[in-house]
Structure 1
Amino acid sequence: MNAFGREFRSRLRLGFAHAFALRRQESQIEAEDLALLDRFARLLADRGLATPAVFLVESLIPLGFLASQLVHAMTPIMGMVASPDDIERLARALEREETPALFVDRLRLMEEGQRRES
């Protein structure tokens, strides 16, 4: 095998080694992400969907990365109430390990605030 073939195989092997690897996201959540979680929590709470959303997010916490993929799958529906950029940012935020629990906390706070107002 010539040098080109060896180099090509080496590059190909390196590429496939990382092709399906999931990168760990930085654990710090940016202020913009927190504001986004608040906006989505408010949208869901205003429509009376906080409890079902809490159930859905909590059921997906053990599945980790799949929660963000569900957001991508629901993009056509979510596009009625949010911009594509916000939906993409939410999906990226949900890839982080601690974000689903933060989102559930924010949903519960929004729901509790609405109960007090009623």
Structure 2
Amino acid sequence: MTIRNFITWRGLGLAKKCEAPKLTKEGITQRDGDLPINPSGGLLGVGNPIAAAGLMKVSEIYWQLAGKAGKRQIKKPAYTGLAHAWGRPNASKHRSDNEGLIISARQLIQYNNFL
């Protein structure tokens, strides 16, 4: 876990100011916690696939919502997932510094029915 994680949780409204480390210490962000975060271990937990980072995050959301994450499966039912990434400052004029994606179970079902 890095300071970036804690800053992101605060920015997304998942943690109050200065409380993100406490959430981790108390196990709230673990797979069996009330607010599971990075059940795959995050990018470092999957080999840090820089070019495929966004796809990895979205894939993990799919697997979690579909109940197909295997040993990484969170313990409580999930209906919405959030993928977020920090861009490099000034890396590109066309890329936002902060990118996010929220996928709901309803969208997942609609997608599966489309296939």
TM superposition score category, shorter chain reference: under 0.3
Between Structure 1 and Structure 2, the one with more strand by share is: 2
Between Structure 1 and Structure 2, the one with more helix by share is: 1
Give TM-score scaled by structure 1 length.
Answer: 0.25
